[in-house]
Amino acid sequence: MAQHHLIVGGQRSGKSRQAERLALAWQAAASGHQVTVLATALALDSEMQARISRHQQDRPAGFACVESPLLLAEALQANAAPHRLLLVDCLTLWLTNWLMPMSGPPDLAGWKAELQALLDVLPKLASPVLFVSNEVGWGVSPMSSEARFYVDELGRLNQQVAQACQDLTLMVAGQAWTRPVEQRNKP
């Protein structure tokens, strides 16, 4: 089984940079190692377009990129290979695309099915995966029920993905705190 790693932290904590550092080290560890970024962001406004552009410019040369705003499990399967590390940046925006689409209501049934597909595919992947996600549950409780639902759902998503990973990193002010994930015995 490939080794998976979840990197969480607040906004501007250095999550993506840490993921890129780990991906570069993996790439340099053996001839033929490749890195593919699975990008989940949608450029729906000028501010997000600028963020995406900055990520693209800062991304190390030689990293391939696949846009995957909704069907992440499918993209992981399609791009997995023993010589390729997959970097998912990020779970937070992936969840946003499902629960807070710019047009139309949330697709809760689609979200639950896609989450289950992700959890089902992770143990079977030939590639190691680096996941980036925000930790948003440390602040003030949001005012709206929709925002509280989103924060709760992201917390549950992070917990479920962490259980499928071997390592967990918390980013604080650009510093990485990494430890192995305690794997629960499943009945």
Which active-site residues does the annotation give?
Answer: 55
b/e string for 99-115 if b means 16 or more Cβ within 10 A?
Answer: beeeeeeeeeeebeebb
Contact 38, 88 (CB under 8 A): yes
Radius of gyration of the chain, Cα coordinates, nearest whole angstrom: 16
The DSSP output letter for 82 is T
